[in-house]
Amino acid sequence: MGTRSSSEEDEQSDPHKTSVWEYRSLDDIYQEIRETYLADSRPWVIGYSGGKDSTTTLQLIWKAIDELPKEKQSKPIYVISSDTLVETPKIVNHITSSLQKINEYAEKEDLPFSAQKVYPDVDDSFWVNLIGRGYPAPNQTFRWCTERLKIDPADNFIMDKVSEHGEVVVILGARKAESATREQVMNLHSIEGTNLARHSKFANAFVYTPIEDWLTQDVWKYLMNDPCPWGKDHDELAALYNEADDECPMVIDTSTPSCGNSRFGCWTCTVVEDDKAMENMVDGGDRWMQPLLEFRNFLKSTQDPEQKSKYREPKGRQHGRVKSKTNGGDGIIPRAYKHEFRKDLLRKLLETEKEVNELRDDDAEYLDLIRDEELKEIRRLWRTEEADWEDSVPKIYNDVMDDDLDWVRDDLGSFSTEEAEVLKQVCAEHDVPEKLVKRLLDTELQHHGMKRRAAIYNKIDKIFREDWRSIEEITDDYESEDPEQWQYDVEYEEMME
């Protein structure tokens, strides 16, 4: 199986961890699954990440249900996989082909399984938040991606099924042996006398974890000795694990760890220091992934404390105020990525997409790193929030891709590059912040012709309350001002949020 994972080493070092095969038979496990399935009318939702644990869980359920008479296979079993849209491409291919085969074999054998991917809303996607809004690359203390990309899409699917059926049972490949925290959380939500646990968020959803007492070696022993019933080859899965240390689990709440410790998951992940999985794939012959690795490493480099002032704004997005560090640190808290840097980042991403596809095999399907709808949403955000009169997104896209998208026509008569050049000159002559005037003019344009104009005064007031000093002025003032005044700014912004 390649290098032993850290979780497997932890299990083997704990004398209290006993192989499930020492006290349970496979038939006993299948029988438990059948009894749990027949106990009520709640449909099942299986979280499938394509990794060893979720594959084992799905296979156990598939084989158990297949043994039931057709008339008792009465309630649907939904198989869902959260696609963050920035998954490592090789993992995407593995999951996509698995879901296709699950649906194909389920239909052929008349089984109650149906598989599909769930996706984040465009507004929640990685690139819209990173490039569109300027959220900094995620780290251990600001992991804004997990909930938006993984948890919310699964939650939305679960709630849709709750609305349709009243209650559901969510099936996960979670195992207590993975960590002490995982075991504690699972024990906390368990319902005594049943195989189910309470869902951490939804009153009408329950959780069933058929392999909760399994060890890593139990999982691999089962997979390597029991063929996949939907036509996949488990040797392919084992090969993926030889290239990576572990999987990214199906995440349904923040108590479930997403990625870390060099697991394979999102190719953009900057929560870990190094992406060992992608490095191994590149070293193993997938040279076309080298540009992805370089882009990811560049994102990681923007987290360097010495580089943050180069890439990030000193004032916040929501209220435009500056915060100083109040937890014992010294200096100004860096906020969102600067707009000019985000332009460079978009250009670099599109160049990476071109390079990756040039390196891939001729018969390989084109790999989109960013979707058209994300580009259009980034454009909208820049036009409305960043006073991007130059309309940068279509220009950057055309420069790099030598092509155009079906961009939404601007019928509001927004300002253009020509007006931006004139305004830049006038503002420089009068020492007025260019972006301040742009924002005021954009606000007036948005409310032009409206009978009720009360809202415009609130927006203008909000714009004027923002900090329009230059970075140099902010730094100088911070070093000379009374710290209590800076604390006031912090309290003001927290009050307004």
Q: Which amino acid is at 39?
A: A
Could you tell me the pTM of the whole model?
Answer: 0.81
Backbone φ/ψ region at 263: left (φ over 0), alpha (ψ -120 to 50), beta: beta
Structure tokens given for 46:
């299986």
DSSP-derived secondary structure for 5-58: PHHHHHHHH-TT---GGGT--HHHHHHHHHHHHHTSS--EEEE--SSHHHHHHH
In whole angstroms, what is the distance from residue 263 CA to residue 177 CA? 17
Task: Give me the pLDDT at residue 48, please.
Answer: 96
pLDDT on residue 415:
78
Per-residue pLDDT tens digits for 84-124:
999 999 899 999 999 999 999 999 999 999 999 999 999 99
Contacts of 268 (CB under 8 A, 6+ apart): 86, 126, 137, 295, 296, 299
User: CB within 8 A of 345, min separation 6: which ones?
Assistant: 130, 131, 337
Tokens 């309350």 belong to which residue? 465
Domain boundaries, the chain: 6-272, 309-496
CB 432 within 8 A of CB 275: no
Superfamily of domain 6-272: HUPs (3.40.50.620)
pLDDT in tens, 47-89: 999 999 999 999 999 999 999 999 999 999 999 999 999 999 9
Confidence of residue 422 (pLDDT cuts 50, 70, 90): confident
Between residues 370 and 413, the one the model is more confident about:
370
| Alpha-carbon gap, residue 235 to 227, rounded angstroms | 10
